[in-house]
Amino acid sequence: MESQNIRDKKEAAVEVKVHLIVFKLGTEEYGVRIDQVKEVTITPEITRMPKTPSFIKGVSNIRGDIIAIMDLEERFNIERSTAGTQSKHTYTLVMEAKDYTMGFIVREVPQSLSLPVSSIDKAPSFIQDININENFIEGIGKIDDRLIIVLDIYKILTSEEIMELKS
């Protein structure tokens, strides 16, 4: 961590970079800032929790903490990609908000990626994506030929829809 910071500082003089964890939802690539991710793990057994919206898959025991697991594809109505490598496992990104922790399921191994801040465009206002409320999109990152949708996970975690889960 220490050396990482030092390295970051050195590079900051040259160009500020953002470190992202990148994962696939549907056919597109999405990213979240690495400092918002507590850990990435193979999805543990999920206990279904009746009376929750379908995008809440249930709760899991991750190192003694019981946390809710959400499926972002279902949450955003993203059609699941059938193409590509179908691995046996899914992965869970454990994300930390101020006062709670939650897991997000992704289907392929998430990767870590650094890209210069300058290559991230603020979310253009014309993206009136019907599925993902633009509020959750922090920007669109471009690197080589890839396009990475950078999500602001705090906004997903605090969005009223989740907070107002009621039976």
Partner 1 sequence: MKSRDQEYKEIFIAEALEYYDALNRHISDLEKSPEDEQLLAEIFRLLHNLKANAKAIGYVSIADVSHKLETAFGLIRNKELNFSDEVVTVLFDGIDMLGEMITNIDSPKEVEPSPALLRNLDIIVNSISENTAELSKVQKYYTSKNLSLSDLIYIQIKKLDHLLNLVGELIIDRDRIVSISKELDNEDLKNVSAHLYRITDELQYSVMDARLVNVGSLFNKFPRIVRDIAVAEKKEINLEISGQDIQIDRNILQIITDSLLHLMRNAISHGIEKADMRKKLKKTPQGNVFLSAQNDRDTVILKLTDDGKGIDQQEVRKAIVQRGFLPAEAAEDLRESEVLSYLFEPGFSLAKEVTEVSGRGVGLDVVKNAIDSIGGRIRVDSKKGEGTTFTLFLPTSIAVKGALLCQVEENFYAIPLMHTDSVVALPSVELHEVGDLLVADINGETITIVYLKELFNSELHEYSGKKSKLEGDVQNIIIVTYNNRKLGLIVDKLLRQQDIVIKALSKPVNTIEIYAGVTLLGSGKVCLVLDVAAITRYFIARR
Residue 39 binding partner 1, by CB under 8 A: no
- Report the nearest approach of partner 1 to the CB of residue 46 (Å): 8
Nearer to partner 1, 25 or 102 (CB): 102
Q: Rounded to an integer, what distance in angstroms lies between the CA atom of residue 94 and that of residue 36?
A: 9
Nearer to partner 1, 26 or 58 (CB): 58
Nearest 10 degrees: CA dihedral of 32, 16, 135, 128? Answer: -100
Among 36, 41, 52, 90, binds partner 1 (CB under 8 A): 52
Residues in 92-131 at the binding interface with partner 1, rule: CB under 8 A: 99-102
Q: Rounded to an integer, what distance in angstroms lies between the CA atom of residue 136 and that of residue 145?
A: 23
For residue 46, count other CB atoms closer than 10 A to its CB: 19
| Among 73, 70, 69, residue whose Cα is nearest residue 24 | 73
Nearer to partner 1, 9 or 98 (CB): 98
Q: Is 135 helix (H, G, I), strand (E, B) or coil?
A: helix
Among 4, 27, 61, 131, binds partner 1 (CB under 8 A): 61
- The residue ranges that bind partner 1 (CB under 8 A) are 45, 47-52, 56, 59-61, 64-68, 99-102, 157, 162-167
